[in-house]
Structure formats: C-alpha cells, structure tokens
C-alpha cells in the first residue's frame, strides 16, 4: 500500500482492496451493452440502484426497455431487485424523471406482471438517493459490479462521438474482484433500511418484504488494481452497526463524506496532472485544493456542461453555476472546456457532460455518481469507485481524449496530453466563433470571464 502515490481515505465505510479488475465504459450505449451482456449470464441475482428512469428508455441492440431486460431475467428464476428513489415534497419537481412508485408506475408493473422486487427509498429532505449501481451474482466468487452515473433515459443511451442532438456524455466502471463485496454490502444496507419498506406503497413484488443477509466473504482477486468504494451518506441514515466482511466495526451514524475527503486528498497529492469531468464544481474546499495544485504547476483540465445552446455569434462563457472557476483564468496550466457533437444539419450541438470522474497523474482515478457540489458531497446518497492502476488509468485517459480530441495520445505523457487538449480546444473555439464547424474532435474552450 505504501507504493500508492495518491492516498486513499481512512474515514470511509470500506477499506482499500487489492486485486481488482477495473474496466472503464465510456458513454451510455457501450456501457449498457456490456451491463446487459453480464446480466444475460447471471446465475443467481441482479440488484440495481436507480435514481432516474424514463419509460421511453431503450437498452442497446433491440433489447427493449430496462424492465424488458430485468423481467426476462426474473422469468428465468434470477433474483432481481431494484431500489428506486422516491423524491419528497422538496424535490417533487424531479418526479417527472423518476420511477417513484406513482399509481401510473404500479399500474405499469401490474400490466407487465413484473417479476422484479422493488423497494422505494426517500433521501433526507431536499436531497437525493443518487447512487447508480448494477450488481450481478452478488456473493458469488465471480460476481460483477458496475458503478457510475448514467441515468436510464434516451439522452444518455448514446454512442461515443455524439452525432445527433440532446446527448449526454457519461461513464461507468465495471469491477470484478474483492471490491465487489462493498457494492454488495451497500446494496444490502440500503435495501434493508429503505425508507418506504414497511408500507404497501413502498414495495413491489413477492419477496420484496424480506430483508437480505449481509455478505460474509470477500471475492477472490481478479486483477491488479487497488480499489476503494467511497460514498456520501447523510448523517443518521444506515447506522445499522453491521460489521464489514472483514469483521471491522461498521457504524456511520454521523454520516459519511469519503467522496469529499478523497477528492481533496487526491487533488492535494497531485504532482503532474488533474483531469476532471463533472456537472458542477463550486464547493470552496475543492476550489482551494485546485488552486494549490495550479500554483505548484500541475496541469489541470476541467470538462463541464456548456450552455444548453451553443451560441455561434458570441464567445462562449461559463454557465452561471460554474462562475467560481473564473478566478483560475490567471493560470496558463488551466482550462475549462465543453464538448459539442455534430447534428444532422452539420452544425455543432452541445453535449451535456453528466460524467463524474477525475484522473490524477496518469495513475489514479475515481468514477461514480458524485458531483462536486454541496448536495453530492454533503447530503445525497452517492457512490464512487476510486482506483489506483497506472495501466488502466492511462488507457482510460487515452480513450477519453480520443473521443474528445479525435487524437491518439498514447504516445505522450499525461502533462503533454493535457497541453494538447488545451491547444485543440482553443482552436475549436476560434472556429466556433467564426461559424466553422469542421473541428478536430468535440472539445472547445469555455471563456473564463471575470
């Protein structure tokens, strides 16, 4: 463990585990193609945590809706369980995107004669049950977990390259090996303590009233990556006192902020490069850590959502929610960028950056559901997988930049790759301002106006 340059955190619920296989999956169509392939080989269980799901969502390659895929598995005797978020009155406006257990939703399940088991779970008032995980064959030696941030909607179920309109860019991680036990533990904890579990309106399906057993063994090693499952948990939730499979005491009555602590620790430890994709970055402590990194010469690139409409006539500035980043305009080793694909009319169409990831020094990374705003860091239920494995992180960096820059960066180091990112994104911005849509790749610079 002493050889890991970027430290993992000591305050989380779960330990850092060696011997994991980690596979990044970029954009919704490839990610859910792989998730479906693994689910179709399930022998015992498929357990899922969902925040948002549209009934119009279709899985890749003609598989039908998520319920089509999950009901087929249930019909084959697989134990299929889903934890859906149920927004409260303070977050009621988000019900339009959630499968929150309305009469319409339960009527749909009845018509389908769905064989899945469901529990609905509220968050603390004003917050969100924001985890997005898929767990296949929990407890088996070859169980597989997927941790990320992709929602089940048509905007997210898209191919890399983003040819079209209304696209989201997003990422999942596939995990195999010892760290899967912690995704397993998280699911059991949430299932057993789901807020609506004791009401008829808070459950669906035969067997949904039964609690699950916590895992009691750690899967065998499958790869070379160190992985730590990290979370945000609001204080007072899930304080069940259950031990981890290693026998360590387990009690988070005061809440968990290991996502926040990990981001700070990793940024402070960075010595070469930081690449971030996130929806929002405005928490003062994170901004302070980034300022320190920039001051010591670390190359930093942030990929964020641009304005909903790409304006050709005027230079593109940061959305208001990202204006705190403007103070970093004094640094030559810093850039904020957006991405835009090509529509049917040949014009550039903004792509919404929904991914939540950070790569540090070409050796360490985190991927999950956690945004860098106060809700995700201090109140929502969130889950990330942080991992250290230089070979996988470098490959991940090359795949991301291949999409965003249409450029192979496998022949250069991480610092040179981010300098190249800035160069190409700056040129694309100039073309955008001139009404020229013949860009290299997707990335374009956002103006850091005061």
pLDDT by residue, tens only, the chain of 450 residues:
334 689 999 989 999 999 999 999 999 999 999 999 999 999 999 999 999 999 999 999 999 999 999 999 999 999 999 999 999 999 999 999 999 999 999 999 999 999 999 999 999 999 999 999 999 999 999 999 999 999 999 999 999 999 999 999 999 999 999 999 999 999 999 999 999 999 989 999 999 999 999 999 999 999 999 999 999 998 766 555 455 566 544 445 568 999 999 999 999 999 999 999 999 999 999 999 999 999 999 999 999 998 654 444 344 667 777 888 999 999 999 999 999 999 999 999 999 999 999 999 999 999 999 999 999 999 999 999 999 999 999 999 999 999 999 999 999 999 999 999 999 999 999 999 999 999 999 999 998 876
Give the per-residue pLDDT at 320: 78
Check residue 72 and give left, alpha or beta (phi > 0: left; psi -120 to 50: alpha). Answer: alpha
Contacts 24+ apart (CB under 8 A), 249-255: 250/13, 252/13
Rounded to 5 degrees, φ, ψ at 220 are -70, 160
The one-character DSSP state at 414 is H
Give the per-residue pLDDT at 164: 93
**28 within 8 A of 150, measured Cβ to Cβ:** yes
Element housing 261 (H / E):
helix 258-269
**274 within 8 A of 360, measured Cβ to Cβ:** yes
**87 within 8 A of 100, measured Cβ to Cβ:** yes
From the list 257, 330, 317, the residue with the least C-alpha distance to 290 is 330
- What DSSP string describes 340-390? EEE-TTSSEEEEEE---EEEETTTEEEEES--BSHHHHHTSBEEEEEEE-H
Give the per-residue pLDDT at 311: 43
Rounded to 5 degrees, φ, ψ at 377 are -85, -20
Q: Report the predicted TM-score, pTM, of the whole model to 2 decimal places.
A: 0.94
- Residues found in the chain: 450
Give the per-residue pLDDT at 321: 76
Q: Which fold has domain 17-256?
A: Endonuclease; Chain A (3.30.870)
Residues 6 or more apart whose Cβ sits within 8 Å of residue 96: none
Residue corresponding to tokens 């909607």: 153
Domain ranges (residues) in the chain: 17-256, 259-445
Cα dist. 235→134, 232, 416 in Å?
25, 9, 42
Rounded to 5 degrees, φ, ψ at 44 are -140, -40
Give the per-residue pLDDT at 323: 84
Domain 259-445 sits in CATH at 3.30.870.10
d(CA 80, CA 77) in angstroms, rounded, equals 9
Give the per-residue pLDDT at 255: 84
d(CA 316, CA 312) in angstroms, rounded, equals 8
């Amino acid at each position: 463990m002493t050889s890991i340059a970027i430290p993992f955190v000591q305050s989380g619920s779960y330990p850092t585990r060696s011997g994991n296989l980690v596979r990044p999956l970029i954009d919704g169509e490839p990610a859910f193609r792989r998730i479906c392939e693994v689910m179709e080989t399930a022998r015992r269980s498929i357990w899922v945590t969902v925040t948002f799901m549209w009934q119009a969502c279709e899985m890749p390659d003609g598989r039908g809706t998520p319920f089509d895929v999950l009901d087929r598995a249930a019909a084959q005797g697989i134990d299929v369980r889903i934890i859906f978020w149920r927004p409260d009155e303070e977050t009621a406006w988000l019900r339009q995107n959630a499968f929150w257990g309305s009469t319409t939703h339960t009527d749909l399940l009845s018509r389908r004669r769905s064989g899945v088991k469901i529990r609905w779970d509220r968050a603390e008032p004003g917050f969100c049950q924001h985890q997005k995980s898929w767990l296949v064959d929990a407890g088996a030696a070859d169980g597989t977990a997927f941790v990320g941030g992709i929602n089940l909607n048509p905007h997210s179920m898209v191919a890399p390259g983003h040819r079209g309109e209304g696209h989201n860019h997003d990422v999942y991680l596939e995990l195999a090996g010892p760290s899967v036990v912690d995704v397993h533990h998280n699911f059991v904890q949430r299932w057993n303590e789901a807020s609506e579990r004791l009401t008829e309106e808070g459950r669906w399906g035969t067997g949904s009233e039964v609690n699950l057993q916590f895992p009691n063994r750690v899967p065998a090693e499958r790869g070379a990556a160190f992985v730590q499952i990290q979370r945000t948990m609001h204080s007072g939730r899930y304080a069940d006192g259950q031990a981890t499979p290693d026998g360590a005491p387990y009690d988070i009555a005061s809440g968990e902020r290991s996502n926040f602590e990990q981001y700070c620790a990793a940024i402070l430890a960075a010595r070469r490069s930081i690449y971030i994709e996130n929806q929002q970055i405005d928490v003062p402590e994170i901004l302070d850590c980034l300022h320190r990194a920039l001051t010591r010469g670390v190359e930093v690139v942030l990929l964020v959502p641009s304005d909903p409409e790409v304006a050709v006539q005027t230079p593109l500035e940061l959305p208001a929610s990202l204006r705190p980043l403007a103070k970093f305009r004094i640094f030559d080793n810093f850039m904020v960028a957006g991405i835009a694909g090509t529509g049917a009319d040949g014009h550039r169409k903004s792509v919404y950056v929904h991914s939540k990831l950070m790569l540090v020094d070409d050796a360490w990374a985190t991927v999950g559901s956690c945004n860098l705003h106060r809700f995700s860091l201090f109140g929502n239920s969130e889950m990330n997988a942080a991992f250290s494995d230089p070979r996988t992180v470098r490959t991940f960096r090359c795949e991301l930049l291949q999409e965003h820059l249409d450029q192979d960066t496998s022949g250069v180091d991480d610092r040179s790759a981010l300098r190249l990112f800035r160069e190409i994104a700056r040129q694309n911005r100039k073309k955008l301002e001139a009404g020229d849509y013949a860009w290299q790749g997707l990335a374009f610079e956002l103006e850091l106006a005061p």
